[in-house]
């Protein structure tokens, strides 16, 4: 296993909060990617790093045939409740348990940057895709366009050193970083689509709590304890609290489209 064991444990702990509160904010980039590559009736789609499976539910609603892979058993449990008939496997992005040339389209939403060897993850996406099939890799855009960047940074600041094999949320957000890895992995980059993806929370308390459901949140709790992690998050979120107590943070996610 590459980074799946470590990442699977980090992302499993808060699976229900992730699927209820954070995953729905990502619908804009799921739609943008599926529109860009024509996910529709009969398309055999693999979502690599599918988490709790909302993107696959949306693909199924378009008539596609959904398959998912993720490291986190906790998130897969939610995905299996939503898609009892789909092939949803626990495994590693860097060593996928699928035959060559199997899928008509492959997506990775906000997952590849957490792999220890992202180029290997992209090679695997290419291997399991049919020749010429479309592939999308979506990550956070440049941090200066993401109001969530300082929030995630407040967790990062609590941690002494990134342990080996832990990629961070913004690890592949520099302009051209994903495209260059795609080329190294034998993919042909085509388009880049920026998608406005605001993160909206009903209250400061909830915003702070649900961030502990993320991999970086869980890691911060493991290292410095929950009270320190909650304090850091409250400080980072508080400038965004509006008069009615809700929060909305603007972000850009970047969808890169390539061909296998």
Ligand X SMILES: C[S@@+](CC[C@H](N)C(=O)[O-])C[C@H]1O[C@@H](n2cnc3c(N)ncnc32)[C@H](O)[C@@H]1O
Nearer to ligand X among residue 7 and residue 136 (C-beta): 7
Residues 111-150 that bind ligand X (CB under 6 A): 111, 114-115
CB 241 within 8 A of CB 138: no
Residue 188 forms beta bridges with which residues?
Answer: 259
- The Cβ of residue 188 has, within 10 Å, a number of other Cβ atoms equal to 13
Q: Which stretch binds ligand X (CB under 6 A): 45-53, 190-198, 201-209, 247-255?
A: 45-53
Spell out, one character per residue from 187 to 226, where the chain touches ligand X: x when CB under 6 A holds, - when not: ----------------------------------------
Residue 3 makes contact with ligand X by CB under 6 A? yes
Nearer to ligand X among residue 120 and residue 241 (C-beta): 120
Residue 110 makes contact with ligand X by CB under 6 A? yes
Which 8-state DSSP code applies to residue 164?
Answer: T
The residue behind tokens 């009615």 is 244
Residues 8-37 that bind ligand X (CB under 6 A): 8, 11, 23, 26
The residue with its CB nearest to ligand X is: 51
Provide, for the chain, the percentages of residues in helix, strand and coil under a 3-state DSSP scheme, each rounded to the nearest 5.
45, 20, 35
User: Residue 26 in 3-state DSSP?
Assistant: helix
Q: How far is CA 256 from CA 85, 106, 244, in A?
A: 29, 12, 36
- The Cβ of residue 245 has, within 10 Å, a number of other Cβ atoms equal to 11
User: Residue 259 in 3-state DSSP?
Assistant: strand
Which 8-state DSSP code applies to residue 21?
Answer: I
Which 8-state DSSP code applies to residue 159?
Answer: -
Q: Which stretch binds ligand X (CB under 6 A): 78-86, 88-96, 151-159, 195-203?
A: 88-96
Residues 224-253 that bind ligand X (CB under 6 A): none
- The Cβ of residue 234 has, within 10 Å, a number of other Cβ atoms equal to 15
Residue 4 makes contact with ligand X by CB under 6 A? yes
Nearest approach, Cβ of residue 27 and ligand X (Å): 10
Nearest approach, Cβ of residue 242 and ligand X (Å): 25
Nearer to ligand X among residue 222 and residue 231 (C-beta): 222
Residue 56 makes contact with ligand X by CB under 6 A? no
Nearest approach, Cβ of residue 93 and ligand X (Å): 4
In whole angstroms, what is the distance from residue 90 CA to residue 31 CA? 24
User: Would you tell me which residues interact with ligand X (CB under 6 A)?
Assistant: 2-4, 7-8, 11, 23, 26, 49-51, 55, 70-72, 75, 92-94, 109-111, 114-115
């Amino acid at each position: 296993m590459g980074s799946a064991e470590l990442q699977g444990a980090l992302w499993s702990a808060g699976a229900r909060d992730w699927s209820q509160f954070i995953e729905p904010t990502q619908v804009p980039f799921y739609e943008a990617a599926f529109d860009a590559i024509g996910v529709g009736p009969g398309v055999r789609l693999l979502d690599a790093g599918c988490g709790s499976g909302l993107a696959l539910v949306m693909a199924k609603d378009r008539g596609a045939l959904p398959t998912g892979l993720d490291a986190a058993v906790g998130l897969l449990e939610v995905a299996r409740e939503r898609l009892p008939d789909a092939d949803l496997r626990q495994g590693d992005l860097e060593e996928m348990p699928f035959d060559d040339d199997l899928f008509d389209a492959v997506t990775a939403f906000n997952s590849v940057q957490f792999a220890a060897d992202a180029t290997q993850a992209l090679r695997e996406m290419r291997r399991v895709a049919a020749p010429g099939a479309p592939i999308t890799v979506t990550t956070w855009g440049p941090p200066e366009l993401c109001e969530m960047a300082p929030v995630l940074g407040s967790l990062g600041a609590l941690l002494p050193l990134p342990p080996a094999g832990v990629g961070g949320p913004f690890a592949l957000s520099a302009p051209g970083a994903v495209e260059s890895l795609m080329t190294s992995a034998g993919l042909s980059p085509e388009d880049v689509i920026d998608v406005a993806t605001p993160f909206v929370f009903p209250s400061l308390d909830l915003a702070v709590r649900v961030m502990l459901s993320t991999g970086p949140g869980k890691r911060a709790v493991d290292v410095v304890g929950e009270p320190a992690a909650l304090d850091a998050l409250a400080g980072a979120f508080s400038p965004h609290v509006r008069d009615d107590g809700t929060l909305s943070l603007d972000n850009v996610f970047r969808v890169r489209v390539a061909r296998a």
